[in-house]
Structure 1
Amino acid sequence: MSKEVNVIDGPPEDLGEKKNATVVQEHPKADRDSPGEPEEDHSDDSRESDTTYVNGHPVIRDGFDVSKFLISVRDDGDPALTFRSIVLGSVFTALSSVITMLYVFKPTYMQVSFVFLQLLVYCFGEAWAYVTPSPEKFKSRWIRNILKFLNFGQPFGIKEHVVAALIASSGNNGLNGVEVYAVERLFYDKNVNALTAVLGTFSMCLCGFVLAGVLRPLIVYPAEMVYWSTLPQVVLFQNLHFDRHANRERLRKFGWALLFAAVWEVFPAYIITWFGGLSVFCLASMGASTSTRTIFSTIFGGASSNEGLGLLNFSLDWQYIQSTYLSLPFKQQFNTWIGYVVWYIAMLGLYYGNAWNAKDFPFMSSSLFHSNGTVLSTTSMLDDQGIIDQEKLAEVGIPHLTSSTVWGFFSQNLAIGALISHVILFSGKDMIQAWKQARNRTQPDIHYQAMLKYKEVPMWWYWVLLVLCFVAGVVVTTKGDTTLPVWGYIVSLLLGAFIAPFSCILYGLNGSGVSTNQISKMVAGAVHPGRPLANLYFACWSHQVILLAVNLANWLKVGQYTKVPHRVMFGTQIYGTLLGAALNYVVMTTVVTSQREILLDPIGNSVWSGSTLQGFNSQAITWSLAKDMYGLNGRYVIVPLGILIGFFFPVIHWFLNRAYPRLKELPLNTTFIFVTSGLRYYGNTSWIWSSIAVGVFSQVWLRRRKPKIYNKYNYLIGAGLDGGSQVVIFVLSFAVFGASGQERPFPAWWGAPKDTNPDHCI
């Protein structure tokens, strides 16, 4: 059958503007029959005729192309739930959850790279198969059975690999609940009792799973729900197991990248901290007056927490840069870059325009302040139950926020409003069609059809889990010291259930989402005025419903691509989530106890920072005073109005697209622009320009000019760099940074200054 195709001999044009997701990949047409390659399907010749080829390789533009050309439909029927997969998953859950919890107390929050976990699991899984004796060498039947159960001498299959890696990655699903306990310890001098810790963690960790189960036809089954940020991992899973002859070269490159990052990370993190922020402007201002240096630090400084905007400040510290911008599609990064431009203008304009008396407070900080600029202690306005005491409040006054915090809150609300209208207008019709197809089992995606032979998870499993989580939450709210009534707990779950579908759809289509925690805090403040602790718990439960729905849907999609049975995915995700939450809790208590003073400091330092937890607490306090701070007569009334304002931007965008169809070629997404424009209102910022440089190199140059190298090594090298830097930070945190209680700073010198910021701004 003849086909008409577009053939491009040179670099491919960036075609991501035409669809909801952007990936340009090579897929050798001549090698279609090689192991692991999806079989060519001619069932949709109309789509085939639209395919663009680069040197004989199809360009991946959307979810249908991903299913057809990029991801293999191959299913070898190998076992998924084994002793080896559970053991490896458990071991690496410990690694990922501990490192991620440590980054909660760092100037910039990061998570362990999934590709790094994936490759570590693979190495250990292969070693397990290689060094253990084969059962066939033994004559005794019971010995053979035991060794087979232990997977000794058995090949390490793709499904085992997927299960172990996903268990490890799900270990951070309960992180938000543990962060609430950390805030209680730091700012309310309360140690969570055992009942609240156990039942609360169980309820918060799993409360969103049922929603992902109900919404599977909408957020998992359709081909367009690709979850682009995890697509590299799916490709790597299949390459490692379906194309084994190339593994030695891949793993060698990965090992060298990991070793290089591990050795290098010691320098910017410990010995030469100046490498964490290279700024020509900061160096040029060293001999200037204090006032000039202060301005330069505000604009160009960013190596320390809450120092400044980090404009043209480049970091060589990979622990903050990370490989995120090696994998996010061009369309996503394009909107991010626009958001940063808005962020620079807004932050500087508000501060130097003295909005809300901004100059009376630090340029960047997530703490609360008195009107004279001194830090306000949250306990100074609370009674013994953690409730706002009106008499104490009258003495200390209504808290003040920095202009950076106000902008951060406002932009988050803009993004939430834009999220709802954007999904309805730009994805509504497709989602309705997908629901109908799944209900009739006519979803055309070949991977969905291939999974029909496996037993689905009965809905009653999800409902039983929901009942258990709900009851545990009721016990916590009635018996625990949360100040949150049962009816408020129910409202929090309902709010999360309303927002979750929008977040799941946006994330599935674009590979990135929106932080919706702000709307949870707003509603909590409205229904529970004067109760900051109640606000924390309300927002946590509500946000966890959204977060876990997104996470589980993401992993269910990975399972669909790799043909892991539905019931195995369900059970192992629950196990990994609970195990990781327990480990998060242990690390949290250790760090909060040993680094309490620096975590309470509104500035922090280049190693430890309480900015993340301070931000949580500041929002809880301020939203518990919603009427006074954000009401019609409040100082920050613009913040809640952000949701309404943000809602109309996609509406305007949609009408402009209809009036001027050529605008559709521009990959604008106002939701992501708003997210980026206020996401960095505290913390370390020197890595931003480095991440932009990485993104331009990877997505604009390497992907288009050297697609073969991009497809083969882009994600692999990024994973090695992530892994090496994160392992070293894990070791340094306990060895020299004081996570275990004993700090051993490197001797001060010009490259690692003690009394000034690492980038030598004031």
Structure 2
Amino acid sequence: MSESRAIEEAGLFSHAPVVTVRSSSASEKRRDSASEKASEGEKYRDAKHDEADEDDVTYRNGEPIISTGRDVSRFVVDIRDDGDAALTVRSLFLGTLWAGLGAALYQVRRIYIFKPVQMSVSSVFLLLLVYTSGQAWATFLPRKSWVEGTRWERLGPVLHALNPGKFTIKEHAVSTLIASTAAYGSASVSNFAVQRLYYDTDVGALTAVLATFSTAMFGYGLVGILRPLTVYPSEMVYWENLPSVTMFQSLHYDTSTNARRVKLFWIVFAVFFVYEVVPAYMFPLLTGVSVFCLSSQKAPRSTKDHFTNIFGGAQANEGLGLLSICFDWQYIGSAYLSRPIQQQANSWVGYGISYVAILAIYYSNTWQSKSFPMLSTSIFSGNGSVYQQSAVFDSQFRLDETALEEVGLPFLTGSNAWFNFTLNLAFGGLIAHVMLFWRQSSVDAFSQAKTGTQPDPHYQQAMKRYKEAPTWWYLILLCLAALAGLIVCIKGETTLPWWSYILSLVLGTFVAPFSTILFGRMGNGVSTGQFMKMIAGIVNPGKPVANLYFSMWSHDVVSQSMSLAGDLKIGQYLKVPPRVMFLTQVWGALVGAIVNYVVMVSIVNSRQEILLSPTGSNVWSGQFVQSLNSQAVTWSLAKQVYGPEGPYFIVPFGVLIGIIPTVIHYLISQRSKTILGIKTESILLPIIYRYSGRLYAGVTSTTTTIIATGIASQLWLRRRHPVCYRKYNYILGGAMDGGVQVMIFILSFAVFGASGKERPFPKWAGNPARGRVDYCNGNGALD
């Protein structure tokens, strides 16, 4: 099937050749299909609400094709609620255990901010660890029944509290969410890493923990207030959480019929766990196999250089990785098995623009691009050397005007400047798109929540049975988080004035709903950090550290909101009482604030030199913290760098430029529902903008593979084999992520030097001793 035909069937085009039926006959098809699958114990879940009678359902061979959030609520996630206990001694203990001790394994997420590609970490493996522990607890610890009728019977209530019997799905969810919530402090922690690496400031543990807790809980307070908009509606899926949700229900519901899926999970997990040693350690050439680079070993040096820029991508900041094939799942991930095709198709357009734009900027020498590496997130002096920012800022991290005149302005690589511009484009497009295209649905969501008529079946099921967490709980949490941040701002080494701190919170509060709506609907958001740093540079000129903290209490609050809203959605899908969810996430954030700080200190102390390198390697890279620092420094010099006389004056205008096409797009969509067969509303300019700068740094050899992964999952499996898609797609994604990420965690500390000592694999053709691992520089190892 051709790609255009596949996209047409996916619903981006106006005509789909598959059968579409009204839900009146859809009920009959579901009943017939359920009868056919009775031997497997599989039955489709009806929404049991008027919503089910209002929309069309698309089927293939009697199986619904999962396309929308409503489809997920009705056919993927079971509406079942056994009314079992959620908050128990067992669930709290296991959640705290894996968050504070065993969750060191899960803290591979922390490692990824120091890797060439930033990946989100699947929680499926953590979910299974908790499940195994809970099952062992229920089986082996004494129960009340053991002492009934004996002289120890008076201990029955105590034993029942410790071991109430069967380990339930809600206990499982609470334990897992405590541990996963503990992992959501990475954005804040990265700011402390920047201070250690670039400003020689040892941020105290108490300051770091308070600041991390402040951003997490302020974000959660916002989520609580906005949950009618960002959690309750069916459209708010948080797609990358579906592997976890389906695994929870597979383990606890109809376990006999789901045994095949669970067994398959462990087989795939084990295979990818063992396999990951090969591309990550023994055979790094598999990170990016480029036919063009391998075939150009004897080409002239100029040809090799051009090929490296265009086709190289197996190492950090090497090249654009065009048509390279990646065989290392750690750089691919299950996100492309989960995200809806609408999001992925728009991202493909963005990738195409990114290839063209970055090459055009570099080879046209725009922004003096040829004076610097084509890809890098560092800042440079005009002569191409790394910028000596310590000579420009005094001991209080404030700008020294005289020193700036002597040293000169910092410069960005052309790709980094383009990336900053596209971030502003995406931010402007995000605000405009949500306000224009999703305005009415947002208004309806609040209205439905107020009247209790929100049609999502999982919301209705939970609201009938459990008390909602009152809004004033979240308001108190907001106040406590704001107070903790104010203490850090005043007492810590932030250089951020109190009034600027308050402004940052206000800004984060404004932006959070826009970003969370896009993230919930599409499984992918738009980074707001660039915009926040731009505002910080305007209100705090000449203060790069203040810029970092301003962004932390604005952009990081937005990031926390998106992550914690996704957890609340898991709670809604699994019918965890809202008040229990509140306590779960608050406790998880407290534990995580400590764990995150400890892991960050360990990695920064042991890998400081390579994290400061402008290029890094295929194992470690400081690109993320470098980018934070570059933005903080350049935006603290906003007047000089981004002003009318500065080299990058166009970058701030990206916000306005991003709004205008979105407004035009909206006006066109009101007149024409389709153009050239493409639904106009399926075009997402914020996503296109975001991916237009995506290849600005890091390992880029993944693009071809992730596009192929998305096509295989969302265009072929989902459309052609919906039964297999519904039963196996999300579970297999979690299995692959889990196996790979556990091995990467082990390798990071065992051989990659996270613990201080590096043990490289012996050199051979698949792990060359010199040059690029993908041979894009013609290193002679194949002669």
What secondary structure is seen at the aligned counterpart in 1 of 2:59?
A: strand
**One-letter amino acid matched to 2:410:** P
Deviation at 1:589, TM superposition (A): 0.9
- Partners of 1:338 and 1:752 in 2: CA distance: 34
Structure 1 unpaired stretches of 5+? 1-9
> Which residue in 1 is equivalent to 2:63?
57
> Which residue in 2 is equivalent to 1:761?
776
- Partners of 1:378 and 1:701 in 2: CA distance: 51
Per-residue displacement from partner, 1:598-639 (whole Å, max 9, x unpaired)?
111111111111111000000000000001111122110111
Per-residue displacement from partner, 1:450-480 (whole Å, max 9, x unpaired)?
2223122122221221221111111111111
> Which residue in 2 is equivalent to 1:738?
753
The answer on 1:606 being equivalent to 2:618 is yes
2:605 paired residue among 569, 593, 599: 593
> Which residue in 2 is equivalent to 1:90?
96
**One-letter amino acid matched to 2:598:** V
1:407–1:678 CA contact under 8 A, matched in 2:
yes
1:132 to 1:376, Cα distance in 2 relative to 1, 3 A: same
- Partners of 2:457 and 2:600 in 1: CA distance: 44
The answer on 1:492 being equivalent to 2:488 is no
The answer on 1:621 being equivalent to 2:633 is yes
- Partners of 2:114 and 2:52 in 1: CA distance: 53
1:422 to 1:126, Cα distance in 2 relative to 1, 3 A: same
- Residues 221-232 of structure 1: pairs in structure 2 closer than 5 A: 221-232=232-243
Give the stretch that moved more between structures: 215-224 or 326-335: 215-224
> Which residue in 2 is equivalent to 1:115?
124
2:11 paired residue among 15, 18, 23: 15
- Partners of 1:176 and 1:613 in 2: CA distance: 10
> Which residue in 2 is equivalent to 1:688?
703
Per-residue displacement from partner, 1:726-748 (whole Å, max 9, x unpaired)?
11111111111111111111111
The answer on 1:454 being equivalent to 2:459 is no
Deviation at 1:224, TM superposition (A): 2.5
TM-score, normalised relative to structure 2: 0.91
> Which residue in 1 is equivalent to 2:189?
178
> Which residue in 2 is equivalent to 1:510?
522
Deviation at 1:42, TM superposition (A): 6.5
2:321 paired residue among 310, 331, 334: 310
Give the stretch that moved more between structures: 116-125 or 647-656: 116-125
Give the stretch that moved more between structures: 238-247 or 746-755: 238-247
The answer on 1:103 being equivalent to 2:112 is yes
2:660 paired residue among 645, 648, 652: 648
What secondary structure is seen at the aligned counterpart in 2 of 1:640?
A: coil
What secondary structure is seen at the aligned counterpart in 2 of 1:202?
A: helix
- Partners of 1:246 and 1:361 in 2: CA distance: 59
2:117–2:331 CA contact under 8 A, matched in 1:
yes
> Which residue in 2 is equivalent to 1:47?
54
2:436–2:666 CA contact under 8 A, matched in 1:
yes
Deviation at 1:37, TM superposition (A): 5.2
What secondary structure is seen at the aligned counterpart in 2 of 1:522?
A: helix
1:698–1:714 CA contact under 8 A, matched in 2:
yes
**One-letter amino acid matched to 2:771:** T
- Residues 170-209 of structure 1: pairs in structure 2 closer than 5 A: 170-209=181-220
Deviation at 1:553, TM superposition (A): 2.0
- Partners of 2:308 and 2:405 in 1: CA distance: 36
**One-letter amino acid matched to 2:316:** S
2:94–2:175 CA contact under 8 A, matched in 1:
yes
**One-letter amino acid matched to 1:597:** E
Per-residue displacement from partner, 1:575-609 (whole Å, max 9, x unpaired)?
11222231111111111111111111111111111
1:686 to 1:570, Cα distance in 2 relative to 1, 3 A: same
1:274 to 1:575, Cα distance in 2 relative to 1, 3 A: same
Deviation at 1:201, TM superposition (A): 2.3
> Which residue in 1 is equivalent to 2:479?
467
- Residues 303-382 of structure 1: pairs in structure 2 closer than 5 A: 303-382=314-393
**One-letter amino acid matched to 2:34:** D
2:49–2:457 CA contact under 8 A, matched in 1:
no
Per-residue displacement from partner, 1:167-209 (whole Å, max 9, x unpaired)?
2221222111111111000000110124422322221221112
2:47–2:74 CA contact under 8 A, matched in 1:
yes
Give the stretch that moved more between structures: 171-180 or 55-64: 55-64
1:508 to 1:194, Cα distance in 2 relative to 1, 3 A: closer
**One-letter amino acid matched to 1:584:** N
> Which residue in 1 is equivalent to 2:78?
72
1:46 to 1:728, Cα distance in 2 relative to 1, 3 A: closer
1:81 paired residue among 61, 80, 87: 87
Structure 2 unpaired stretches of 5+? 1-5, 21-25, 778-783
1:97–1:171 CA contact under 8 A, matched in 2:
no
Deviation at 1:226, TM superposition (A): 2.5
> Which residue in 2 is equivalent to 1:544?
556
What secondary structure is seen at the aligned counterpart in 2 of 1:212?
A: helix
The answer on 1:38 being equivalent to 2:45 is yes
- Partners of 1:403 and 1:144 in 2: CA distance: 70
- Partners of 2:502 and 2:175 in 1: CA distance: 34
Deviation at 1:383, TM superposition (A): 0.3
The answer on 1:581 being equivalent to 2:584 is no
- Partners of 2:144 and 2:305 in 1: CA distance: 70
**One-letter amino acid matched to 1:67:** S
Deviation at 1:97, TM superposition (A): 4.8
Deviation at 1:144, TM superposition (A): 3.2
> Which residue in 1 is equivalent to 2:781?
none
Per-residue displacement from partner, 1:28-62 (whole Å, max 9, x unpaired)?
754389688534636457426x3232222333443
**One-letter amino acid matched to 1:58:** P
- Partners of 1:306 and 1:413 in 2: CA distance: 22
> Which residue in 2 is equivalent to 1:478?
490
2:310–2:321 CA contact under 8 A, matched in 1:
yes
> Which residue in 2 is equivalent to 1:521?
533
Per-residue displacement from partner, 1:534-554 (whole Å, max 9, x unpaired)?
000000110122122222222
2:66–2:718 CA contact under 8 A, matched in 1:
no
**One-letter amino acid matched to 1:344:** Y
2:13–2:679 CA contact under 8 A, matched in 1:
yes
- Partners of 1:74 and 1:251 in 2: CA distance: 20
- Partners of 2:51 and 2:112 in 1: CA distance: 47
Per-residue displacement from partner, 1:60-104 (whole Å, max 9, x unpaired)?
443334333443322111011122322332344324552111111
1:27 to 1:162, Cα distance in 2 relative to 1, 3 A: farther
The answer on 1:421 being equivalent to 2:455 is no
Deviation at 1:137, TM superposition (A): 2.3
Per-residue displacement from partner, 1:148-179 (whole Å, max 9, x unpaired)?
22327x21211112112222221222111111
> Which residue in 1 is equivalent to 2:176?
165
1:232 to 1:598, Cα distance in 2 relative to 1, 3 A: closer
Identity of aligned residues (%): 49
1:28–1:57 CA contact under 8 A, matched in 2:
no
What secondary structure is seen at the aligned counterpart in 2 of 1:393?
A: helix
1:150 paired residue among 152, 162, 169: 162
> Which residue in 1 is equivalent to 2:716?
701
What secondary structure is seen at the aligned counterpart in 2 of 1:52?
A: strand
What secondary structure is seen at the aligned counterpart in 2 of 1:112?
A: coil
- Partners of 1:45 and 1:406 in 2: CA distance: 48
What secondary structure is seen at the aligned counterpart in 1 of 2:554?
A: helix
Deviation at 1:498, TM superposition (A): 0.8
